[in-house]
Structure 1
């Protein structure tokens, strides 16, 4: 799914109106119906709704939604936020319509903008939409401050009022609605991908309002949001007359004293993701651990007892991953350096392998192109330095990918996957229960497995991140968000695959 700018969204609206021969007011009605249906599905008729509607098209959406809820038996109160004497035509049409069913909005103006909110109501924010291009100030800012400081649930229509859809570097962050939910139209906004904006956006729901597919297909963007339909197109199908050799031989380089478990998790995930054969290079003291806990894996015991010191011949492996529980002993650093120098195929690089590179930044230029780096934010900071905003962090991620021709998987909510061509994909699966030790080791095993199976590096990164998050979501439903373990993610990889194939 493409992530569009506010201008592209307006163009999509216009294209739809022109090519479907639909009036703009009818497209607004369609979008409003989607919101009303969502609200009625979530809240029963014991809930009252208080709408704050601006005088533009976002306010028109709000008025239409209020009308639909009223017609379905909900108690409604509407405040009109009169920040301009100019109204959009579709706002005026919906204002006339709502008056015909007995709702007369209470007008809030610069001279009189006091209101009282019941703590039992749900606030619907429809003051400003995605077209806002300047920070909110004046009496509207006072209204937003009061809404935010009342103990009520807030649902934003399309985007929280005051939040810009792409960049908020020059915005006044004090004057933005703090929504619990955002019902956004057709495509998510880039601003919704940034962790720092969660306090404004809350959980967002993408509502398909039927914008013209031809426009969406041809419009250009660098940003995408992963969907199940896309992931299904990447999945490789297994042939009836195939054997283990058809699904690749992976090598995982993992483990050090006290961290052999990381190798176990990564190995189990690699196998469960479908690789034909797996070999684990582990310190000598970890051999028995791997052979006992992962009997399906072959094992190479390093000469050193507690760390990796020797790089084996890698020419017979189809995919190599390094990093889980690796440690940073000097001989281990030399192994990583040799691996980078000798590999002609993309690698998966994680955890301590990334930390070693951050202490030897010149090595970045020698990493095989299209290798996949999987840092968490702190590991990424060690690579590229500090940032002030999530927007700046994204820019640093894109620069690292394009300059060094690497795929960077920056882990977190809505994990971002940046490619050497500047394209960025944001993940739509996963949950906070996955913020647990070993979750990243699982991802490394999965990505290494996919590379070994013949997935292109871009495909492996996109597919693997989505599958990892999906397995985590299934695990959350089984064990709960607070009790989720990395091993639960592994145990649910098979069910995640089933969801892709059913």
Structure 2
């Protein structure tokens, strides 16, 4: 699913009115009616008090359309105009006249904190104050209104975006934003729904189709895409009846140090279960017995170093190399890593301490093959690109880094974001139970295993991140958030593959994910 920018949304609206020969007021009517249909389907005429707070721009116009439809259908609704400016949009004024012609109970105009109505906890608030065009903080009394929303503990539904929230930057005052229980976003979700600094402003979201021109939606390239099952399913490569292990590549997993051999175990095992034909683990001598005993399917090559990797030499041709899990950052390991990069010609997946080694010696970045995949956790990312002020600053820095070095970077998180040049891909699977030691090692193995099978690095990364999160979602149903461990993610990987081909009613996706995606 494409995630359009504010500018692209405006252009989509303009082209829709032009190509469908309708007015902007008609498009607003369509949008407001879709919100009404969503509410009407769920409320079925229930007489719960509904408070619709409308701004004086187009978002407020959408709210007025909704209020008028609610009134026509007999709901217990009260409409308010949040009069924060003397300027009104044309379509707002048209719908303001229409609602006055619909009911004798005209909207109440709010101009200060003294005008606020009583809102009970069992009431419903509809937030239609500000839309995506907001470019400055709300007035103090409007902020007080938003605080009243929160204090009431009423269910709050935001139209398109929680009021006070920007589409392209982080707010400075976290109290000057509506905290929505649900947001109905027109045609496309907003990037801010997925970022740690801004996702807290809506618990759930859903996209409403308001009939934006189909050609525009299909042909317009978005800088951000949302990745779910239906985006990764085309990546899947079925297996031929007469295929053998040689067709599915050979992963070389380099890593480990004394006390951290388990990281190589997890990455190697997940590479195999992701589908690699063969996996060889390259590790210090101290890890030979434990890994060979625990994973008989994996071949083992030992470094000359007893407790750490001190040189990287092998006499076979790997399809892809995963490097860094548990490897450490000693001086000897740094020398071995540098020598390896200077001679390596194979695709790379770089994780953990190998990223820290790159951060210590950024001159080594020039030796990375094009489309190398880096999978840092937040602190490793900070060492690599420097500190950031907020999520948007972080994304901008990662984009510049990706472009400069022609690499793919995975920003791990609740919504893992993969960046390839200017393009951002937001993952939709995963859960808090995956915040556990070794989860990142599993992801390194999955991506490596997919590249070994012939997936292009970007496809392997997007597919791998999705499968990793989906495996965690499946596993958490059995183990819960607190008890989920990295091995459970690996154990559920096969079921994640199977789930790709289940029909929606068979899928193990949660109701929340179904609604959000």
Same fold (TM over 0.5): yes
Q: How does 1:345-364 map to 2 (within 5 A)?
A: 345-364=346-365
| Structure 2 residue aligned with 1:249 | 250
Whole-angstrom distance in 1 between the partners of 2:256 and 2:118: 60
Shift of 1:417: 1.4
Q: Alignment partner of 2:198: what SS? A: helix
**TM-score, normalization: structure 1?**
0.91
Contact in 2 for aligned 1:136/1:172 (Cα 8 Å): no
Which has the higher mean CA deviation after the structures are superposed, 155-164 or 172-181? Answer: 172-181
Whole-angstrom distance in 1 between the partners of 2:282 and 2:244: 24
| Structure 2 residue aligned with 1:270 | 271
Whole-angstrom distance in 1 between the partners of 2:186 and 2:483: 34
Shift of 1:351: 0.7
Q: For 1:306-362, what per-residue CA distance to the aligned partner results, in whole angstroms no more than 9, with x for missing partners?
A: 322331327510011012222223332223222211111321010111112222222
Shift of 1:51: 2.1
Which has the higher mean CA deviation after the structures are superposed, 63-72 or 7-16? Answer: 63-72
Q: Call closer, same or farther: CA 1:478–1:383 in 2, change over 3 Å.
A: same
Q: Alignment partner of 2:164: what SS? A: coil
Whole-angstrom distance in 1 between the partners of 2:470 and 2:388: 30
Whole-angstrom distance in 2 between the partners of 1:477 and 1:92: 51
Contact in 2 for aligned 1:49/1:121 (Cα 8 Å): yes
Whole-angstrom distance in 2 between the partners of 1:240 and 1:70: 63
Q: Alignment partner of 2:180: what SS? A: coil
Contact in 2 for aligned 1:274/1:449 (Cα 8 Å): yes
Whole-angstrom distance in 2 between the partners of 1:34 and 1:205: 12
Whole-angstrom distance in 1 between the partners of 2:315 and 2:348: 11
Q: Alignment partner of 1:216: what SS? A: helix
Q: Alignment partner of 2:65: what SS? A: helix
Q: For 1:251-278, what per-residue CA distance to the aligned partner results, in whole angstroms no more than 9, with x for missing partners?
A: 1113222222222221221111111111
Q: For 1:112-138, what per-residue CA distance to the aligned partner results, in whole angstroms no more than 9, with x for missing partners?
A: 532222122232211011122222224
| Structure 2 residue aligned with 1:389 | 390
Which has the higher mean CA deviation after the structures are superposed, 101-110 or 319-328? Answer: 101-110
Stretches of structure 2 lacking an aligned partner (at least 5 in a row)? 503-517
Q: For 1:432-474, what per-residue CA distance to the aligned partner results, in whole angstroms no more than 9, with x for missing partners?
A: 2221111111100011111111111111122211221222222
| Structure 2 residue aligned with 1:436 | 436
Contact in 2 for aligned 1:269/1:490 (Cα 8 Å): yes
Whole-angstrom distance in 2 between the partners of 1:475 and 1:46: 41
**How many matched pairs?**
500
Q: Alignment partner of 1:481: what SS? A: helix
Q: Alignment partner of 2:138: what SS? A: coil
Shift of 1:302: 3.2
Which has the higher mean CA deviation after the structures are superposed, 89-98 or 233-242? Answer: 89-98
Q: Alignment partner of 1:107: what SS? A: strand
Shift of 1:85: 4.5
| Structure 2 residue aligned with 1:51 | 52
Shift of 1:48: 4.3
| Structure 2 residue aligned with 1:455 | 455
Q: Call closer, same or farther: CA 1:293–1:64 in 2, change over 3 Å.
A: farther
Q: For 1:270-319, what per-residue CA distance to the aligned partner results, in whole angstroms no more than 9, with x for missing partners?
A: 11111111111133332333233322222223333332233132751001
Stretches of structure 1 lacking an aligned partner (at least 5 in a row)? none
| Structure 1 residue aligned with 2:7 | 7
Q: How does 1:167-182 map to 2 (within 5 A)?
A: 167-168=169-170, 173-182=174-183
| Structure 2 residue aligned with 1:329 | 330
Whole-angstrom distance in 2 between the partners of 1:369 and 1:36: 50
Contact in 1 for aligned 2:170/2:198 (Cα 8 Å): no
| Structure 2 residue aligned with 1:423 | 423
Contact in 2 for aligned 1:63/1:98 (Cα 8 Å): no
Which has the higher mean CA deviation after the structures are superposed, 327-336 or 82-91? Answer: 82-91
Whole-angstrom distance in 2 between the partners of 1:67 and 1:494: 51
Q: Call closer, same or farther: CA 1:57–1:447 in 2, change over 3 Å.
A: same
Q: Call closer, same or farther: CA 1:87–1:259 in 2, change over 3 Å.
A: same
Q: Alignment partner of 2:314: what SS? A: coil
Match of 2:141 among 139, 148, 156: 139
| Structure 2 residue aligned with 1:109 | 111
Whole-angstrom distance in 2 between the partners of 1:136 and 1:476: 41
| Structure 1 residue aligned with 2:492 | 492
| Structure 1 residue aligned with 2:515 | none
* Root-mean-square deviation over aligned CA pairs: 2.6
Which has the higher mean CA deviation after the structures are superposed, 64-73 or 386-395? Answer: 64-73
Q: Alignment partner of 2:463: what SS? A: helix
Which has the higher mean CA deviation after the structures are superposed, 271-280 or 219-228? Answer: 219-228
Whole-angstrom distance in 2 between the partners of 1:358 and 1:498: 39
Shift of 1:174: 4.2
Q: Call closer, same or farther: CA 1:144–1:255 in 2, change over 3 Å.
A: same
Which has the higher mean CA deviation after the structures are superposed, 152-161 or 40-49? Answer: 40-49
Contact in 1 for aligned 2:255/2:326 (Cα 8 Å): yes
Whole-angstrom distance in 2 between the partners of 1:293 and 1:65: 62
Contact in 2 for aligned 1:113/1:139 (Cα 8 Å): no
Shift of 1:92: 4.5
Q: Call closer, same or farther: CA 1:46–1:488 in 2, change over 3 Å.
A: farther
